[in-house]
Amino acid sequence: MKPTNSELKKRADKVFIGNYLRYPSAMISGQGCTLTDADGKTYIDFLSGIAVCSLGHCHPAVTRAVSEQAASLVHVSNFYYTEPQTELAELLVANSFADKVFFSNSGAEANEAAIKLARICSPAGKYEIITLKGSFHGRTLATVTATAQPKFHAGFEPMPEGFVYADFGSLEAIESLISDNTCAIMCEPLQGEAGVRPLEQEYLEGIRALCDRHDLLLILDEVQTGMGRTGKLFGYQHTVIEPDIMTLAKALGNGMPIGAMLTNETLAAKLVPGTHASTFGGNPVAAAAGVATMKVMLANGFLAGVNEQGDYLASQLEKLAMQFPTLASGVRGLGLIRGLVLTDKGVAVGAEIVSKMLEKGFLINFAGNSVLRFVPPFLITRDEIDQMVYALSEVLSDYHR
């Protein structure tokens, strides 16, 4: 007899540390854009494990790659070469600005590697990194300090030194923080956790210009925006600039744990043996998943489809904003990362809206205390978008008075 949602919840609550606010659903299977819980209820997924399962659940190409690799070699130390790791690095280099790749297990670890690389490549005494308010770079002590949101720092003080925070959207604010200690500027092309806030093209290009003028490194955190989420393979490709260092994770393995730091030949040369490492980074199974994921995304017309579906999702959300002006004021985002911007009244019930959508069979989330965030698999159909929007209109109508 298989356990139910409530039975699994009861078991889990006895043994897990309570650092997650979990919904009372235990997911047991997934296919495409649909998840099924232990009670047999199905959900259309507009969260994708927070922008992770971009090809949907159990994509056949990824499942096949994982299964075949697990049957031949699951793990070997990075003392040795493996083909999946090498092939994935080749694909990343061939389709980005980068010459070299370092693999990790997660986005936080990729960002840790980027921070260390920026420091080791800079002159003595230059160690500070400027980040933007509202950013999110990870949960390790260094990356949570880089995250310019005080709520994530609470209780963990004193934070490591070496990070200063600039107001979002202001080049002047960034430049005012540049000092003799500054070695890099680190930012996301679009702030996902802060409420789906894209950096305007002129702003991001201006940050690149500041780095060039002051001889600083530009680190782009593409953990959430990378791998097609914005409609380009990488978010920076919406502009004319290139970073010095870029980090990836989330969708890179379509659910398998893998992250990557990419950089150029000159900077990479500073990470000599012994300076940095990762036991599981580029694990053969995770790397095989990454290879399969990239090959699907690089297929002719695939990213054009992401843009088409993203535009359709945005247009339908805009209609909701017009229909419920007391709750929503507009839509922002790129590709298939979109946020329905809530008014103060909407923000007050944002978490309730997410719970009610779960009851109706749709997974979304409330991000940055400001938007309902939608990051569905790239395979989402217009019919599935229409179903979600109809359900959301029913929920919003309960609060629109």
Residues 231 and 286 in one domain: yes
Check if the beta carbon of residue 294 is closer than 8 Å to that of residue 91: yes
Domain CATH number, residue 346 = 3.90.1150.10
Which structural domain range is residue 344 located in?
Answer: 5-58+300-397
Residues 157 and 237 in one domain: yes
Q: In 3-state terms, the chain is what percent helix, strand and coil (to 5)?
A: 40, 20, 40
Per residue of the chain (401 residues), give pLDDT as tens.
Answer: 889 999 999 999 999 999 999 999 999 999 999 999 999 999 999 999 999 999 999 999 999 999 999 999 999 999 999 999 999 999 999 999 999 999 999 999 999 999 999 999 999 999 999 999 999 999 999 999 999 999 999 999 999 999 999 999 999 999 999 999 999 999 999 999 999 999 999 999 999 999 999 999 999 999 999 999 999 999 999 999 999 999 999 999 999 999 999 999 999 999 999 999 999 999 999 999 999 999 999 999 999 999 999 999 999 999 999 999 999 999 999 999 999 999 999 999 999 999 999 999 999 999 999 999 999 999 999 999 999 999 999 999 999 77
Nearest to 265 by CA among 92, 124, 93, 79: 93
Q: What is the model's pTM?
A: 0.96
**How many Å apart are CA 240 and CA 367, to the nearest integer?**
29
Residues 180 and 273 in one domain: yes
Q: Which of 239, 273, 297 is the last residue in one of the domains?
A: 297
Task: Please give the order of strands across the beta sheet that includes 34-37.
Answer: 27-31, 34-37, 42-45, 362-363
**How many Å apart are CA 256 and CA 286, to the nearest integer?**
5
**Is 68 a domain residue?**
no
Residues 305 and 292 in one domain: no
- DSSP symbol at 254: B
CB atoms within 10 A of CB 325: 13
Domain CATH number, residue 168 = 3.40.640.10
**Is 158 a domain residue?**
yes
**How many Å apart are CA 107 and CA 143, to the nearest integer?**
10
Residue 227 token pair: 């791998």
Residues 33 and 113 in one domain: no
CA angle at 55 for the pair 53 and 259, rounded to the nearest 5°: 50
Residues 327 and 191 in one domain: no
DSSP assignments along 209-226, one per residue: HHHHHHT-EEEEE-TTTT
Number of domains in the chain: 2
